[in-house]
Every structure is written in C-alpha cells, then in structure tokens.
Amino acid sequence: MSGLLTRFARSTGAGPAAEFALVLPLILIFLLGIIDVGRFAWEVNRAEKATQTGARWAAATNMIASGLVNYSFATGVEAVPAGTPVDDTDFPGISCSSNGTTTTCICLGTCNFPTTANNAAFTALIDRMADIKPDIGAANVIVEYRNSGLGFAGDPNGPDVAPIISVRLRDLDFVPLTLMLFSGTIDLPDFSYSLTMEDGAGSWSN
C-alpha cells in the first residue's frame, strides 16, 4: 500500500490539466475583452449614427419648439423691421427635453416668444433614433435651437428664424461581457450633431 501511495504522490500525469485550469480564466478574460472592445466600438458607432439621423429628422420635420412656428418677430414685442434677420438678442435660443411623458422647451436667455413644445414631434424624433439604437429613451435626448442668422422677421411662409438645430445624446451605458456577472457598466460618451433647419414642417425625413 505504501508503494502505491508513493507512486501516486510522485505522479505528474495531471500536471498539464492543472496548468490549463490555472490559465483558462485568463484566456477567457482576454477573449471576452477582445469581444467587448468590438462591441463598444459598435455601440459608439450606433449612437453616433442615431444622433446624426436625429438631427436630420429634427431639421426636416415639425419643429419641437412649436412656439416659433407662427410667431412674428416683426409684429411681436421685439419689433424687428420686417425683412431683416432676427439677432441673438431677440432669439437667444431654446432647448427642448422630455421626461418621457411631457416635452418642455426652455429659453436660453430672455424670450418674448412662446416656449411651447410639440410633444408628438419629440416622440417621433425619439422613435426614429431608437430605430437605430433601441435603448435610446426620451431622457437621453436634448434638442437645441440656436440662432443661425438665417430667415427674416415677418416671413409669411414659415418661421421667422431658420435656427441651427443640435441634437444631443447623453447618459447611455455599455454593459461589457466581462462585467455582466457583477452588473457593471461603462458610460458611453455624449454625442452631438447639428444641422440648419429646413422647412420645419412635415412628419417624415429620409
């Protein structure tokens, strides 16, 4: 019996298996890390594309800042001479966001024009962006309208301003495979894309 125990103690037959068991976790972490780098790049690319598409949608469809649609800076408190551009003093910009139920637009300075918001237009924008990146929600998006110097007071065919529209995407998370068991996440960077408004009316954009 003692000889058998001696041979068992001296046996090295299981050595490769033990070494493999020690190295396997490192190999798996390395492999999952490579996959996560690719997944992270893919999610960043989707977020960028969704932001660009959102800006295009906001520029070519109904204005979310609906208070600007029919407001005349020529006959309003600003009394901008008809046919002249509206400056930054009279149109300092407006920012629109949503809590998922109600869309709110706030002035970025002193505004005499209405700051009403088109909730349906904001919802349509979110739905279009979510076609590209489904985890985008209303709370992740801010739409800003800033003066571009285009347009003119008293325009009878549309809004008196043709603002630069910026769509910002924020507060998105990425869940790596290597942290999934620990419920860990990595913050994606914020994204922004800007375009000049086109007609500001319509329900669809390419």
pLDDT, tens digit, 9 for 90 and up, residues 84-123: 999 999 999 999 999 989 999 999 999 999 999 999 999 9
Q: Is the pLDDT of residue 17 over 70?
A: no
Candidates 158, 175, 14; CA nearest to 73 is: 158
Looking at the chain, the whole-number percentage of residues with pLDDT higher than 70 is: 89
Check: CB of residue 73 under 8 Å from CB of residue 88.
Answer: no
Burial of 196 (0-12, 13-18, 19+ CB in 10 A): exposed
Supply the mean pLDDT for the chain: 90
Mean pLDDT of 53-57: 97
Q: Is the pLDDT of residue 8 over 60?
A: no
Candidates 104, 118, 126, 93; CA nearest to 201 is: 118
pTM: 0.85
Mean pLDDT of 139-153: 96
Residue 30 banded pLDDT, cuts 50, 70, 90: confident
Q: Is the pLDDT of residue 34 over 60?
A: yes
Q: Residue 14's pLDDT is what?
A: 58
CB hemisphere CA count around 154 (13 angstroms): 8
Q: Residue 31's pLDDT is what?
A: 86
Check: CB of residue 169 under 8 Å from CB of residue 161.
Answer: no
Q: Residue 5's pLDDT is what?
A: 54
Looking at the chain, the whole-number percentage of residues with pLDDT higher than 90 is: 72
Type of residue found at 181 = L
Judged by average pLDDT, the poorest of 18-22, 46-50, 61-65, 80-84 is: 18-22
Q: Residue 28's pLDDT is what?
A: 79
More confident residue, 26 or 58: 58
Q: Is the pLDDT of residue 156 over 70?
A: yes
